[in-house]
Each structure stands twice: as C-alpha cells, then as structure tokens.
Structure 1
Amino acid sequence: MSSGSPLTALDAPALAGIRRLNALDTVRARIALAVDLGLLAPGERLPPAGEIARALDVGEITVRRALVSLCDEGVLERRRGRAGGTLVSPRPATGRVPEIEAYRSAADDVHRLIDQRLLLECGVAHLAASNATPAQLEELRDLVARMDRAASWAEFHTCDERFHLLAAAATGLPAAEEQYGAVVRELYRYYLPYPMEYLRESNREHAELVAALTGHDPLKAVEVTRRHVEVLHRTMFVGLMGHPAARD
C-alpha cells in the first residue's frame, strides 16, 4: 500500500488548465462563458462588483478590471444613470475571450470533481442527519431563506457555499469537513453565473435536505443530495456546451 494518505484517491485533480490563468482572466472567462451559453441574457444587468468579487473569491478591483475589459471587447456594456450599470450587450460578441478555452478543456476534470462531490456529499448528508445540532439546523434554514430572497446569482452563490460547508460541519467530523470542503471549493472555481429561476429550483432541494436533517432521516437526506449533485453533470457548463439553447 502507498505510504501516502488513504484518501489520495479523493484528492482533487490537477486542474492545470485554469491554474495557469490569473484572477483577472478567470473572471473574464467565467462571465464571458456564461454569456456564450445564454446563462446571462442580452441586456441583463450584472450585480455590483463587490458582490461578484465575493461570489468568485477574487478582489473587487480585479472584478472591475475584468468588467471594463469585457466592455471593451463587446461582451458587456456600461450605462450611466440611475438605471445604468454593467449589462450584457444587446448583441454580445462571442469568441473574443481566449481564456474560455481553459474552462472548455477542463471538462473531464470537472466531471471527476462532480463525482467526487457526489460520493462525499452523500456521506455528509447521512452523518449530518444524525449529528446536526439545533443551532446548525437553524442556520441552515436561515441560509435557505436568504437564498430565496437573493436578488442576484452572486448573492445566492455566496450563501450556497456557506450552506454546503455548514452541512459538512454538521457531521461532527473535522476530517469529513476538510475533505469535502477541499473538493467543493475546487469545483466552485468552475461555477458560472446562473439564471435566478434555476437557482430558486436548486434552493428547493436545499429546503428538502434541511427537512430531512431535521427529521433525522438519513435515507431521505442521501436521496435529496444525490439528485442535487448528479444534475451538475448536465447543468454545469460541461453539460451545456453543445446544448441546443447555447449560442454557436
């Protein structure tokens, strides 16, 4: 047996493609790819730069520079006035952000990360159904309510990350929290902006999971978790590329 960690098989893949990108390029790629796939619609207003920075785990100055560059390239546009802000161009340019290719070429790695998350998160759900404290359950319910009220994909994503990491903490096992957290944070490097109607649907599954944890029902918790994670193979960009609804 190898002298390394017994959990080496669960380690995240190298993901060398996007690790060659700096923070500015990752923001440019994620927003531009969301526009290319129709997840951000023509004319849609983007959230404030500070919200985007928190959701994508980068600095606000980096986000502002990325937005300016995407405006220069015709993907986005800047409007002044009270109804202004940064919006997707009415006819956004495509094929002008070469950094997108690092994401497209990482499809196999992303599918492996989804499978790793599925394996770990089903275990998390099973244990949390037995070990979650009343305070943790209350915080999970509060996060579900906040995601229902979220005004933007950026605000939703920040709460979504907290929700899943808190569910891992509710297992009561620091090792489980560490292993799961490493995989989910790596996968979040690939998340794109999504339409709010899709995110609201996802949040209904969050509510189902909290109900299962509150009822100490590990089988129901695992069943909800399996549905919640498996769908990522189809709904993340790796499943949407080539989808009929996506732009050429």
Structure 2
Amino acid sequence: MMSIEPGREVAGASAGAALFRPVRAGNAFEETVERLLQAIRLGVVGTGERLPSERELADRLGVSRVTLREAIRALADAGYVESRRGRYGGTFVNDTLPTPPEHVVDGRKVDAATLEDALSLRFVLETGAAELAAARELTRTDREHLTAMLANAADAGLGDYRRKDSRLHLAIAEVTASGTLTTALADARMRVNQLLDEIPLLERNLEHSNAQHEAIVNAILAGDPGAARTAMAEHIEGTSSLLRAFLS
C-alpha cells in the first residue's frame, strides 16, 4: 500500500498539493467532501492506500479536525473509505469503490456539461431572486410567508427536507412578484432536485444549509440586496460542491 505522507514525493504528489489546498470558509464541510472525493476518484490516493493523517489534512485544507472527521464519516457511509485503529491505523480508501449509477435528467445522461448547465442556471436565477426580493418593499403577507417557509425547512426531517427546502427557495422567488421568474426558478429547481436525489443526504450539510437559509431570509427581510445575493451565492456553491463531488 502507498500513501501520501508529509514530505514524501510519490506519483501524484503535485496533484495532491493542488487538491489538498485550503477550502473556502463558507462551505468548509461541503468543499472538504468534494476535495477528498476528487483525490480518490482521480487516483491521487489509490484504492487500498491511506489518506494523509487527520492533522495534516486539516492543516492543508484549512479546516477544523471536527469538520474533517465529519467529511470522512460521510465518505465512509457512502462506501469510499474506512477508518482503522491501531499502530498502522488511519483512513484508507476502500479496495472496491462504489460504482456510480448512470444518472439521467430530462432524458439525458448527466455528464459534466449537463451538470454545469443545471448548476449555472440555478445560480443565476436564485441569486437574482434573492437580490430582487431584498430590493422590494415586502408586504406583511410576504414577510410572514418567508418566515413560515424558513421555519418549515428548519424543522424538516431527512424524509421531507428536500421538499421543504425547495418550497423555501420558491417562496423567495414568489415575493419578487415576478411570475415569470418564479416559473423559471421552479423549472430549474426540478432539474437540480433530480440531481440531489442521486446523492446522499448529509446531516452536517443540512445543518449548514439551515443556517445559510436564515442568513438569506434575514438579509431579504432587512432589505439588503447585496447581502441577500452574497448569502444565496454561498449557499448554492455549497450544494454545487456536493453535486460535483458525487456526480462528476
């Protein structure tokens, strides 16, 4: 077995340096999952090989040990790695990796271009909707609607999270008072939800999403378009990192 240890030059070490670079603070968990999966799928850390130590990975990725362990646990649950105890323990890439299913959306196989098309459309529509909603003078009914949908998403269990999450995002579009935008965003969400249904629900990601939802809605209610757009962009980028990690 061969692992990438500190200071050891092996095939793929330069790629490892590129992949195990600091992640952005806003979506640390999601990007950590994405980086580790990229390293595994690209063969930077091969099957049967040991990942760098938790301390080294946390330092190189710029995340806490807690965040790193949660990301590793998510990959273990998905069948990519296993943790072993003892003198020669650590986190090892499984000898046999999960075989990705053939993902199909709207009758098309999900390749990189299809995935990026769906993610790009979502980014443009949802950041724009958040910005526009914050720029409007919301009615009392608008505010109550947003607050209610936020609470529903926060209280959702794993079984109905995606539905209530989608309903909150649609509520943001609804309070823009643009029927055309709401329709376009609903169509885009349908595409993205088909992709999301193909990846595991990660509790740590849901907790993070709920905190980001609150930041988005608070910015809209405060009438701050810039903050609403920024908060929505960060939220969407986190989800995009997970989709790229599991579907690319």
After TM superposition, the score normalised by the length of structure 2 is 0.54
CA shift at 1:41, angstroms? Answer: 3.1
- Structure exhibiting the larger radius of gyration computed from Cα positions: 2
State how 1:1-248 maps to structure 2 within 5 Å.
38=74, 41=77, 94-95=98-99, 100-103=101-104, 105-131=110-136, 132-152=138-158, 154-191=159-196, 192-236=199-243, 238-240=244-246
Partner secondary structure for residue 157 of structure 2: coil
Contact 1:144 1:207 in 2 (8 A): yes
Q: 1:221 to 1:114 in 2, by over 3 A?
A: same
Moved >4 Å (runs of 4+) = 37-40
Partner amino acid, structure 1, of 2:246: L
Contact 1:39 1:195 in 2 (8 A): no
Distance 2:184 2:75 in 1: 30
Offset from partner CA, 1:220-247 (integer Å, 9 cap, x none): 10111111112333111x22358xxxxx
Aligned partners of 2:153 and 2:161 also within 8 Å: yes
Contact in 2 for aligned 1:40/1:193 (Cα 8 Å): no
The Cα shift of 1:197 comes to 1.9
| Equivalence for 1:48 | none
Deviation at 1:40, TM superposition (A): 9.0
**Which stretches in structure 1 are left out of the alignment for 5+ residues?**
1-36, 43-92, 243-248
- Name the TM-score, length of structure 1 as normaliser: 0.54
Residue identity opposite 2:115 in structure 1? V
**CA distance in structure 2 between the partners assigned to 1:239 and 1:196 by the alignment:** 16
Q: Supply the RMSD in Å over aligned alpha carbons.
A: 2.9
Q: Deviation at 1:141?
A: 2.0
Secondary structure of 1:122's match? helix
The one-letter code matched in structure 2 to 1:235 is L
Q: Which consecutive residues of structure 2, in runs of 5 or more, have no partner in the other structure?
A: 1-72, 79-96
CA distance in 1, matches of 2:76, 2:213: 23
